[in-house]
A and B are shown apart, each in its own frame.
Chain A
Amino acid sequence: MTQTDISYKKSGTDAIIAALMALVVFGPIMGIVLNGYQFKLSFDRVFVIVAIVFVGRFLMSTFFQTHRGKMMAFRYTNNNDGVTVLPPNHKSQMVWIIPLVMVIGLLVPFIASKYVLTIVILGLIYVLLGLGLNIVVGLAGLLDLGFVGFYAIGAYGLALGYNHLGLGFWSMLPIAAILAACAGAILGFPVLRMHGDYLAIVTLGFGEIIRLVLTNWQSFTHGPNGITAPAPTLFGLEFKRRSAHGETFHEFFNVPYDSAHKYMFVYLVLFVVVWAVLFIKHRLVKMPIGRAWEALREDEIACRSLGLNHVLVKLSAFMMGAAIAGIAGVFFATYQGFINPTSFTFFESALILAIVVLGGMGSTVGVVIAAFCLTVLPELLREVAQYRILLFGILMVVMMIWKPRGLVRVTRRGFARKEGVVK
């Protein structure tokens, strides 16, 4: 039986109910137009939107009564969630893709225009942020809404280190990571006993505290006016047209000055760092500490009854995530050349969290793809920029319905026997 009988009556009822709900929701919003102190009623707009909902719901309801629709609904309702565990000796068929991506990635700065390059850099920065938050949220299961705070610490670390201490990009890169990790530990201690919603609220507060301090501590951070951040240097060679301290990059190599050189260099360094983080994360997940994070996400009480020190496990997750965000912040600052607190609002945290959720909690590949989608696509769709947030919302809703586990489901290789203890 390929074609089941379709009840148009059922579709009709569904459609009418949906249309009525649309009327209630959109009626006041679309139907009443403010005009100075007056308002006028415009029923045509309400009618159009209700008609769209009616027709859409009717078609959807009919589709789900067909054989294919039923199959689809069945697949999604029986989408058994959780992690797929592969045997320990499993070899992926997709291994060849890694060197391919590496080569393409290395070629990008030499073929792409400066504009495209800047977008890709932004994408890579969000990849880093996504990977960092993925450790905290995806692996350890600690819902962190203030992740942007660590990002801000990294970015301001570079800018303030340069302006107050004269430290450059290369010295601030590790220092900012350490600073952010310390901030992660400071945040981690008071929230050790919390999870879920309570943790989310505390971390949200933490992110806001960082932003407010940056905004209001005028004498130190220059407040909302922002602060300049230095560009990176190649063994002391600056990427400027002219430099007060010795030779610049284009003079040394005797090439004509091009403002894209700086971005090419930032890109290449960032590219290496992203691969390093990917590699480290890949290894960590296999190590006992990675398993401990996942166990903590699954069941904290069981963890403690098994002798896992949850303090260490939680703090290490917070610190690792924060350190990666700090590194991302340094790159952001050096890429922008100028930062101010408006870059570190709650919306950024939400965006990073969206990357992790859309990509798939704990999934590395998914997070990389999602990070590029959510940062590069809006740039490419500049013409429809005003609908960006709307599209973003629709994408979220659709994803949560059709792919609640994210773009890429987490698969894990089984536990190969190794020495080592997590105490």
Chain B
Amino acid sequence: MTTLMEFKEVDVHYGPIQALKKVSLTVTEGEIVTLIGANGAGKSTLLMSIFGQPRISSGEIVYRGEDISQKSAHYVASHGLAQSPEGRRIFPGMSVEENLLMGTIPIGMEHAEKDMQHMFELFPRLKERRNQRASTMSGGEQQMLAIARALMSRPKLLLLDEPSLGLAPIIVKQIFKILEDVASTGMTIFLVEQNANHALKLADRGYVMVNGEIRLTGTGQELLVNPEVREAYLGGH
């Protein structure tokens, strides 16, 4: 098992405010790693800093042996890192198919046809809506589209920022089921979530972030039963 991505003592500042404090974490090939934490803990900041938005103020982000912390966003995105951004950010005026094809930008359209068929198998709902404008779909379908679009670039590492955001519990369940299917194909997934229960059940390993620091780490199961985590994130679940 080789390390795919590694954060080494990363600091991030927004002006005078320090958002990430000496964060170190690793993602190994083929595993699902989740990062959970409350609002404002710095989860999204960490994910966005991979793309250089914001730039880290010290430390290193190593991806396949290369420090990518100072690279531009499109460079990172076209080297095997695909992201399903927070808030989905699909192209509202484009059809589902066009959205998926936009996902092939980094690798060209060689495999477009085949991959799109594959996506329609993974997400049958998208197939029903393939010629519909993306803005006319429900939140859950849009989230599926965002994930499918990210997968279209055949990434080595799939980054997901809160795929459960603003979705009904039943849809969240569906989404996580699909993520499980995606993971079973050997895809490495780095999942940032607030929904600790679902995320930890899915994940091989997890990190718990509090106020810009990694407070706890362990396997998904360990964290799920950890009293501190249960207290803070799982509440009455």
Flag whether B226 is at the interface (Cβ < 8 A): no
- B91 contacts the other chain (CB 8 A): yes
- In the bound assembly, the distance between CA atoms of A414 and B89 in angstroms comes to 20
Closest to B146 in A: A302
Name A289-311 residues within 8 Å CB distance of B. 291-292, 294-295, 297-299, 301-302, 304-310
Hey, what's the 0/1 contact readout for A268-295 against B, CB within 8 Å counting as 1? 0000000000000000000010011011
Contact of B91 among A87, A302, A419, A423 (CB under 8 A): A302
The CA of A304 and the CA of B73, in the complex, are separated in Å by 6
Contact of A415 among B53, B85, B98, B107 (CB under 8 A): B98
B190 to chain A, nearest CB (A): 14
Contact A294 B74 (CB under 8 A): no
- Residues of A6-65 at the interface with B, using a CB-CB cut-off of 8 Å, are none
Contact, CB under 8 Å: A422 / B105: yes
Question: Are B97 and A414 touching (Cβ within 8 A)?
Answer: yes
Give A360 to B108 CA distance when docked, in angstroms: 31
In-complex Cβ contact of B106 among A87, A306, A418, A420 (8 A): A306
User: Considering only CB atoms, which chain A residue lies closest to B76 in the complex?
Assistant: A307
Convert B84-97 into 0s and 1s, putting 1 for each residue whose CB lies closer than 8 angstroms to a CB of A: 01000111111101
Partner of A298, one of B94, B110, B131, B149: B94
Q: Which residues of B contact A196 (CB under 8 A)?
A: none
Within 8 Å CB of B82, what residues of A?
306
**Chain A residue with Cβ nearest B152:** A306
| Residue in B78, B83, B94, B107 whose beta carbon sits within 8 Å of that of A294 in the complex | B94
Report if A307-B109 is in contact (Cβ < 8 Å); known contacts: A85-B94, A85-B133, A295-B91.
no
State the interface size on chain A (CB cutoff 8 A): 31
Alpha-carbon distance A414/B101, docked complex (angstroms): 11
- Of chain A, the residue at the smallest CB distance from B106 is A307
Known: A304-B51, A306-B102, A307-B78. A418 touches B109 (CB 8 A): yes
A309 to B76, CA, bound (A): 11
The listed residue (B108, B113, B131) touching A87 by CB distance below 8 A is B131
Assembly CA distance A419 to B133 (angstroms): 24
Q: What is the CA–CA distance of A288 and B102 in the complex, to the nearest angstrom? A: 9
Q: Which residues of B contact A294 (CB under 8 A)?
A: 91, 93-94
Whether A83 contacts B110 by the Cβ 8 Å rule is no
B178 within 8 A of A: no
CA distance A295 to B73 in the complex (A): 16
A-B contact count (CB 8 A): 100
- Cβ of A421 within 8 Å of any chain B Cβ, yes or no, is yes
Measured CA separation A292–B76 after assembly (Å): 18
Query: Are B90's CB and A302's CB within 8 A?
Result: yes
B101 to chain A, nearest CB (A): 5
Chain A residues near B76 (CB, 8 Å)? Answer: 307
Does A256 lie at the interface of the complex (its beta carbon under 8 Å from any beta carbon of B)?
Answer: no
Give the residue name and chain of the B residue nearest to A302 (CB): B89
Task: Enumerate chain A residues within 8 angstroms of B75, measured Cβ to Cβ.
Answer: 307
Contact status A83-B133, CB under 8 Å: yes
Q: Is B38 an interface residue (CB 8 A)?
A: no
In B61-76, the 8 Å CB interface with A consists of 72-76
- CB of B49 within 8 A of chain A? no
Does B103 contact A306, Cβ atoms closer than 8 Å? yes
| Residues A419 and B108 in contact, CB atoms below 8 Å apart | yes
Residues in B39-80 with C-beta less than 8 Å from chain A: 51, 53, 72-78
Q: How far is the CB of B38 from chain A (nearest CB, A)?
A: 24
Tell whether A246 is near chain B: CB-to-CB under 8 Å.
no
Q: Give the contacts of B125-148 with A (CB-CB under 8 A).
A: 131, 133, 135-136
Contact partner of B85 (CB less than 8 A), chosen from A302, A419, A423, is A302
| Contact present for A414 and B78 (CB under 8 Å) | no
- Residue numbers in A under 8 Å from B135 (CB-CB): 82
Give the complex CA separation of A82 and B136 in angstroms. 10
A101 CA to B51 CA in the complex, in Å? 50
Within the assembled complex, what's the spacing in Å between the Cα atoms of A417 and B74?
23
Q: Closest CB of chain A to B221's CB: distance in Å?
A: 32
User: Would you give the shortest CB distance from A90 to chain B, in whole angstroms?
Assistant: 11
Q: Do the beta carbons of B91 and A307 come within 8 Å of each other?
A: no
Interfacial residues of chain A within 399-416, with CB under 8 A of chain B in the complex? 414-415
Is the pair A298, B93 in contact by a Cβ cutoff of 8 Å?
A: yes
Confirm or deny: B112 has a beta carbon within 8 angstroms of a beta carbon on chain A.
yes
Q: Which residue of A lies closest to B136 (CB)?
A: A80
B77 touches A304 (CB 8 A): yes
B142 to chain A, nearest CB (A): 12
Please state if A85 and B98 are interface contacts (CB–CB under 8 Å).
yes
Expressed in whole angstroms, the Cα–Cα distance for A330 and B133 within the complex equals: 41
Interface presence of B34 (CB below 8 A): no
Among B93, B102, B108, B113, the residue within 8 A (CB) of A421 is B108
Residue of A288, A415, A422 with most partner-chain B CB within 10 A: A415
Q: Contact at A82–B109, with CB atoms within 8 Å?
A: no
- When the two chains form the complex, which single residue of B98, B102, B113, B136 contacts A414, counting CB atoms closer than 8 Å? B98
B188 sits at the interface (CB 8 A): no
Most buried by B among A297, A414, A422: A414
Residues of A participating in the B interface, judged by any CB pair closer than 8 Å: 80, 82-83, 85, 87, 288, 291-292, 294-295, 297-299, 301-302, 304-310, 414-415, 417-423
Known: A302-B91, A304-B73, A307-B78. 7 other contacts (CB 8 A): A82-B92, A85-B94, A87-B131, A305-B51, A306-B82, A414-B131, A417-B113
28 CB < 8 A contacts A-B:
A80-B136, A82-B92, A83-B94, A85-B95, A288-B105, A291-B101, A294-B93, A295-B91, A295-B102, A298-B94, A299-B91, A299-B92, A301-B89, A302-B89, A306-B77, A306-B149, A307-B75, A307-B106, A308-B77, A308-B105, A414-B131, A415-B101, A417-B112, A417-B113, A418-B109, A420-B108, A421-B105, A423-B78
Q: A-B pairs with the 5 shortest C-beta distances?
A: A307-B77, A307-B78, A302-B89, A307-B106, A298-B91
